């Protein structure tokens, strides 16, 4: 194996400094803010995680991302219940699929909770979304899900 730059202690340390120094202040802040995330650990075995299966923001130009008046649409999927949401400014319009009534709780990473009720068609509305990462807990008579976290 040829001599590598990183075989030299001083050069390895210099490259390490180049890699670390530009990110250190922000990384420290990020690590500090991340401490509380563990409190969101899900311990309810009946609660299913609905993963993000569609996001209109990342769709190609001229496709479904331009439907819904340009509002962002996200779909979180699990079986047997899924949830579709449309972001309208600071409002969130959602639908449980298949349509059924239920309770929806929007949770923000800062601990804020907003409750909404889904009608028989599964539609629900959250009128004032908190800022930062959010997720939705949805419970119907037969199923219980929590979506992956996302930034609205």
- Catalog residues that contact other proteins under the rule CB under 8 A: 1-7, 9, 12-13, 15-24, 26-31, 33-35, 37-38, 40-43, 49, 55, 57-58, 61, 70, 72, 109, 132-133, 135, 148-151
| Residue 58: C-alpha distances to residues 25, 53, 83, 139, 151 (Å) | 30, 11, 18, 28, 13
Least Å distance, CB 150 to other proteins, is 7
Least Å distance, CB 9 to other proteins, is 5
Quick one: 35 or 141, whose CB is closer to other proteins? Answer: 35
Quick one: 11 or 117, whose CB is closer to other proteins? Answer: 11
At 111 the three-state DSSP class reads coil
How far is 117 from 120, CA to CA, in rounded Å?
10
> Whole-angstrom distance between the N-terminal and C-terminal Cα of the chain?
50
Least Å distance, CB 118 to other proteins, is 23
**H-type alpha helices, the chain:** 9-20, 24-34
Quick one: 58 or 120, whose CB is closer to other proteins? Answer: 58
Q: Nearest to residue 138, comparing CAs of 113, 111, 103?
A: 103
| Cα within 13 Å of Cα(121), Cβ side | 6
Query: Cα angle vertex 30, ends 24, 33, to 5°?
Result: 145
Least Å distance, CB 46 to other proteins, is 15
Quick one: 63 or 142, whose CB is closer to other proteins? Answer: 63
Least Å distance, CB 50 to other proteins, is 11
Quick one: 27 or 128, whose CB is closer to other proteins? Answer: 27
């Amino acid at each position: 194996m040829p001599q590598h730059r990183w075989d030299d202690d001083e050069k390895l340390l210099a490259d390490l400094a180049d890699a670390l120094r530009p990110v250190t202040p922000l990384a420290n802040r990020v690590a500090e803010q991340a401490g509380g995330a563990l409190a969101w650990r899900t311990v309810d075995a009946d609660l299913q995680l609905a993963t993000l299966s569609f996001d209109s923001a990342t769709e190609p130009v001229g496709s479904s991302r331009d439907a819904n008046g340009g509002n962002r649409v996200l779909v979180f999927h699990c079986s047997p219940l899924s949830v579709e949401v449309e972001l309208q400014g600071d409002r969130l319009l959602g639908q449980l699929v298949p349509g059924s009534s239920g309770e929806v709780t929007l949770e923000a990473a800062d601990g804020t909770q907003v409750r909404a009720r889904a009608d028989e068609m599964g539609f629900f509305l959250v009128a004032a979304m908190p800022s930062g990462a959010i997720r939705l807990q949805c419970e119907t008579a037969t199923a219980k899900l929590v979506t992956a976290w996302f930034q609205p």
